[in-house]
Amino acid sequence: MTKVTKSHEDFVIVGENIHATRVVLRKGKRVVMMDGLEAVPFKSDSGALSYLTVPDWYKDYQPYEQGQIKHFMIALLNGINGSPEEKVQGAAYLRCEGR
């Protein structure tokens, strides 16, 4: 068995001002339709316009049915459990919002 040593540089600290309960309204100005999908626009690391899309799994949750999108929750869960593309998108969204 190989022992893996982690340094403090291997970890990312997320400040308390970023929490998974933040919401944007589905009918609000921060949500757009892209190719038939709801998305929250953001600037990527390079400054290009990117989109955090609302995944199908989220549409079963009560906040969605009440017209709310918990965008940080989506980004966090996609970053942990999503497809490779969703992981990249989620991490980029969190970096953007954390700036």
Asked if residue 75 lies in contact with residue 94, where contact means CB atoms within 8 angstroms, the answer is: yes
Residue 15 clears pLDDT 70, i.e. is over it = no
**Which residue, among 11, 85, 18, has the nearest Cα to 52 in the 3D structure?**
85
pLDDT band (50, 70, 90) for residue 16: low
Q: What is the pLDDT of residues 59-84, one digit of tens each?
A: 999 999 999 999 999 999 999 999 99
The arrangement of strands across the sheet holding 32-34 comes to 32-34, 37-43, 49-53
**Which residue, among 90, 55, 58, has the nearest Cα to 75 in the 3D structure?**
90
What residues contact residue 27 under an 8 Å CB cut-off, 6+ apart? 67
**Which residue, among 35, 36, 21, has the nearest Cα to 68 in the 3D structure?**
21
pLDDT band (50, 70, 90) for residue 17: low
Asked if residue 53 lies in contact with residue 37, where contact means CB atoms within 8 angstroms, the answer is: yes
Q: What is the pTM of this model?
A: 0.78
